[in-house]
Amino acid sequence: MTIGNLNPVSYLSSSADLAADFDVHYEISDTTGKFWQIAPWVVDNAEWPGLPCETGDGALLWGQGLNEAGWSVYLAWIALPPDQHSAGNLKYYRGPRISWSDEQQEAIPLFFMPDLSALSVGWIPEVRRWIMLYTRASLAHPRESIVCRVAKTPWEWSEEITIFNPERDGAFTKYMHEPGEDDLNLLPPERPSADSGWAYAPFLLHRYTRWDAQCRIATIYYLTSTNSPYQVMLMRSQLRFADARYFA
């Protein structure tokens, strides 16, 4: 089964031919819901006490949606029956030690975000930690950062940790356009000269994550778009984990 993030509606979908159109099997959310874009991860249910099922495989789905307090991240889970193309019943996280709900409107926020972003989630088995990337930047706030959160469980996330700051890391005029200071916006496809570069859509490349046990450092690789020039960059960050805390 392939889990596809298709906007403006999030779907679970599968296709025998990757070049062919996807067949819709399960509609999760439209743009008014809490899961308009999802970051999925397949898990062994037995490894995560608190999930709706204790056996077999399931897919954790972190999504984002708008509520009265602003943008928030939510969590859902769906069973993945073996040798079947259709997924099981979708369940929504309502809080610790509370049964999961069949109703999306009962999903509670895991945490709030500054604005609409694109979520990317990964698992570092050596330290048994989840990591989630998203951006705080936007066209209105181009100097904001890409941040990371870390979690021991799929629903208990740390505060934000900055992993990329365009000013600190010397991105402007080098590979991100700064209006009036460079002509990077002229690289194809050409962008308006007044539109600054800003970093967004940090998507983890899970297979390249590396763990240094001696230094307790995880090296992660991810893609980031820069708006102007309208390109995708390959990024690398290192996260040092302490024994009793998320990071040293």
How high is the pLDDT of residue 178? 97
Cα 57 from Cα 154, distance rounded (Å)? 15
State the Cα–Cα distance between residues 96 and 196, nearest whole angstrom: 42
Q: What is the pLDDT along the chain (248 residues), one digit of tens a residue?
A: 233 333 333 444 444 555 566 676 667 887 788 998 899 999 999 999 999 999 999 999 999 998 887 899 999 999 998 876 665 689 999 999 899 999 999 999 999 988 878 899 999 999 999 999 999 999 999 999 999 999 999 999 999 999 999 999 999 999 999 999 999 999 999 999 999 999 999 999 999 999 999 999 999 999 999 999 999 999 999 999 986 455 44
Residues 7 and 36 sit within 8 Å (Cβ to Cβ): yes
Question: What CA–CA distances, in Å, run from 177 to 31, 132, 155, 203, 236?
Answer: 31, 26, 37, 21, 20
Strands (E), the chain: 10-14, 23-29, 38-44, 57-67, 70-80, 90-92, 111-112, 120-124, 129-135, 146-153, 156-157, 161-164, 200-204, 210-212, 217-225, 232-240
pLDDT value at residue 248 = 40
CA angle 19, 38, 72 (to 5 degrees): 160
What residues have CB less than 8 Å from 207, skipping those under 6 apart?
Answer: none
Question: Which phi-psi region, left, alpha or beta, contains residue 134 (left: φ > 0; alpha: ψ -120 to 50)?
Answer: beta
In degrees, rounded to 5, the angle at the alpha carbon of residue 80 between the alpha carbons of residues 2 and 156 is: 95
| Structure confidence at residue 115 (pLDDT) | 81
pLDDT score, position 1: 29
How many CB atoms are located within 10 Å of the residue 14 CB? Answer: 17
Give the per-residue pLDDT at 210: 96
pTM: 0.86
